[in-house]
Structure 1
Amino acid sequence: MVLNKQLVLQQFSESIHEASTIIESPIPKLKGSEVLIKNTFIGINAIYDRELYKGKVPYINVQFPYVFGVESVGIVSDIGTAVKNIKIGDAISTVKVGTAYQEYQVVLEKDAIKIPEASPEYLTMNPTGVSGYLALKNTAELKEGETIVVSAASGGLGHIVVQLAKQKNCHVVAICGNNKKVELLKSLNSCDRIINYKKETISEVLKKEYANKIDVGFDSVGSYMFDAFLENLAPLGRLVVSGLATELTAPEFEQITGPRVYESIYWKGASVRCFMNHLYKEQHPEARNYLFNLYQQKKIKIKVDPTVFNGIESIIDASKYLLEGKSCGKVVVSL
C-alpha cells in the first residue's frame, strides 16, 4: 500500500514545531470525478501559514489533523471513472487552502488546472503571478507610463509585479533588502530605480525623488513602508495593500495616534485599496493564460529561489528561511 506523507496541524501554537507533525495516511479510493495527483513541487506561504497555526485565520474551520499549504504542481497518477478531460501523466496545478503540504492529493477534476509542465516556474505563476496580474489590473488600475513603487520587489510576488508594470512602460521603483536581491532585480531589466533599504532610507529617497509622484504604491510590507508610500502619492494616486508582513510579524498590530488617513489624501483625490486574490476567482483563467503566454514567449522571467528544499520534512526549514527575509524569488519545496 502506498502511503501519503503529510505535514499537518495537530494543535494551535506560537511555534510551527509544536503546532505541526508529519503523518502517513492511506490514499483513499477515488470517486467518479476525482483525480489523484503526485505532487512534484509545493509553494511556501510562510506568513499565511504562521497566522493559520496560531489560530488567527477566522475564515478557516481547522479540524485537527489539518493538512495545510495552498499551491502545488504535480503529475496525475490516477483518475476516477467519471473524469473526462484529464488523463494519467498530465501536469496539473492546484490552488486550494488546506491541500498542498503532502506528497499526494485527491482533487475534483474541476479543481485540477492543466499546465504545460509541473515545474517551479508554473507553480510561481499560479497563484502568485495571478495575484500580481489581477492586483495591477483591478485594484491598482495601473495605466501606461505611470510611476509605481513596489515593496518586497525581489520576492515571489514582487519580481513579477515589476515586470508586468514595465510591460506598460511604467517608471518602476523597486525596494529590497540586500545586494543579492538588488542583482536579481537588475537581471529582470524592469526597474528604473532600485532602493536597498539596508543602505538607503526609503522615506528619504521617496520624499527627495518621488514626492507627490507615486501613481501606484504596491505594498505587501505595511507599517513604515505604507507610511512612506502614502506620504508621496500623486494626485489620483492609488496605494494598494497586498500584504501586511511587518504587522503580522509583530505580537499585535501597532496602535497609531494621529490624523486619519483621508486627511493626507483627500485633496489629492488619492485612495488606499486592498487586494484579495480569491475575490477575483472568475478572472483567474484569464490571468493564468496571460502569464503563461508571456513566459512561453520569454517576455517575462520567473525567478525561483535557488536554495534547495527537498521533501515534506523540509517545509519547516523553508518556512523559516522565508520568514527570515532570505528569499530571492519564490520559495518552493521539491518532492
Structure 2
Amino acid sequence: MKLNKQLVVKQFSSEITIASDVIEKPIPVLWENDVLIKNIYVGINALYDRELYQGRVPYIDIDLPYVFGVEAVGVVIEVGKNVKNVALGQAVSTVKVGTAYQEYQIIKQEDVIKIPEATPEYLTLNPTGVSAYLALKNVAELKDGEIIIVSAAAGGLGHIVVQLAKHKKCHVVAICGTKEKVELLKSLNSCDRIINYKEEKIAEVLSKEYSNKIDVGFDSVGTYMFDAFLQNLAPLGRLVVSGLATELNAPYFEKREATRVYESIYWKGASVRCFMNHLYREQHQEARNYLFDLYQKGELRVKVDQTTFSGIESIIEASEYLLAGKSCGKVVVRL
C-alpha cells in the first residue's frame, strides 16, 4: 500500500514547529471521478499558513489533523473509471485550501487545471499571477498610463504586478528592501522608479516625488506603507490592499487614535479597496489564459527564488525563510 507523506496542522499555536507535524497515511481508493496527482512542486504562502495554524482564518472549518498549503503542480498518475478528460502523465496545477503540502493528492476531474509542464514557473502563474491579473483588473481598475506604486515588488505577487502594469504603459514605482531585490526588479525592465526602503524613507520619497500623484497604490505590507500610499493618492486614486504582512506578524492589530480614513480621501474622491482571489473564481480561467499566453510568448518573466528547498520537511524552513523577508521571487519546495 502506497503511503502519502503530509505536513499537517496537529494543534493551534503561534509557532509552526509546535503547530505542525509530518505524518504518513495510506492513499485511499479513488472514486469514479477522482484523479490522483503526484505533487512535484508546492508554493509557499507563509502569511496565510500562519493565520491557519494559529486558528485565525474565519472562513475555514478545520478538523485536526489538517493538511495545509494551497497550490501545487504535479502529474496525473491514476484516474477513476469515469474520468474522460484527464490522461495519465498530464501536467496539472491545483489550487485548493488544505491540499498542497503532501506528496500525493486526490481531486475531482472538474478541478484539474491542465498546464504545459509541471514547473515552478506555472506554479507561480497559477495562482499568484492570477491574483495579480485579477486585482489589477477588478479592484485597482488600472488604466493605461497611470502611476502605480507596488510594495513587496520583488516578491512572488509583486514581480508579476509590476510587469502587468508596464504592459499597460504605466509609470511603475517598485518598493523592496535589499540590493538583490533591486537587481531583480531592474532585470524585469518594468520599473520606472525603484525604492529600497532600507536606504530611502518611503514617506519622504513619495511626498517629494509623488505627492497627490499615485493613481493606484498596490500594498501587501500595511501599517507605514499603507499610510504613505494613502497620503499621496491622486484624485480618484485607488489604494488596493492585497495583504497585511506587518500586521499579521504582530500578536494583534495596531490600535491608533486618528481621524477616520475618509478624512484624507473624501475631497479627492479616492478609495481604499481590498482584494481576495477566491471572490473572482469565475474569472480564473480568463486570467490563466492571458498569463500563460504572455509567458509562452516571452512577454512575461517569472522569477522563482533560487534557494533550494526539497522534501515535505523543508516546508517549515521555506516558510520561515519567506517570513524573514529573504525571498526574491516565488518561494517553492520540490517534493
Deviations 1:238-262 (A, max 9, x none): 0000000000001110001111110
Deviations 1:217-243 (A, max 9, x none): 000000000000000000000000000
Unaligned runs of 5+ in 2: none
Q: Report the count of equivalent residues.
A: 335
Aligned residue in 1 for 2:281: 281
Q: What SS class does the counterpart of residue 198 from structure 2 fall into?
A: coil
Tell me which residue corresponds to 1:223.
Answer: 223
The one-letter amino acid of 2:136's match is L
RMSD: 0.4
> Counterpart of 2:138 in structure 1: which amino acid?
N
Secondary structure in structure 2 of the residue aligned to 1:129: helix
Aligned residue for 1:146? Answer: 146
Corresponding position of 1:49 = 49
- CA deviations on 1:42-88 (whole Å, 9 max, x unpaired) are 00000000011011111111101100000000000000001010010
Match of 1:80, as an amino acid? G
2:200 is matched with which residue? 200
Determine the C-alpha separation between the residues in 2 that align with 1:99 and 1:292.
23
Deviation sequence 1:197-219 (CA, Å, 0-9, x none): 00000000000000000000000
State the partner residue of 1:180: 180
Q: Which residue pairs with 1:109 in the alignment? A: 109
Cα distance, 1:315 vs structure 2: 0.2
Distance in 2 between residues matched to 1:139 and 1:329, nearest whole Å:
23
Q: In the alignment, which residue of structure 1 is the partner of 2:307?
A: 307
Residues 108-156 of structure 1: CA deviation (Å, up to 9, x unaligned): 0011100000000000000000000000000000000000000000000
Q: Could you tell me how far 1:325 is from its partner in structure 2?
A: 0.2
- SS of 1:218's equivalent in the other structure is strand
> Could you tell me how far 1:38 is from its partner in structure 2?
0.1
TM-score by length of 2: 1.00
Name the residue aligned to 1:168.
Answer: 168
1:20 aligns to what? 20
Rounded Cα–Cα distance in structure 2 between residues aligned with 1:68 and 1:291: 26
Three-state SS of the structure 2 residue aligned to 1:312 is coil
How far is the alpha carbon of 1:309 from its aligned partner?
Answer: 0.1
Residue pairs, 1:1-335, within 5 angstroms: 1-335=1-335
Q: Distance in 2 between matches of 1:266 and 1:200?
A: 29
The alpha-carbon deviation at position 303 of structure 1 amounts to 0.2
Q: Distance in 1 between matches of 2:312 and 2:125?
A: 22
Paired-residue identity, %:
74
Inter-partner Cα distance in structure 1 for 2:249 and 2:15: 13
Aligned-partner Cα distance in 2 for 1:253–1:269: 27
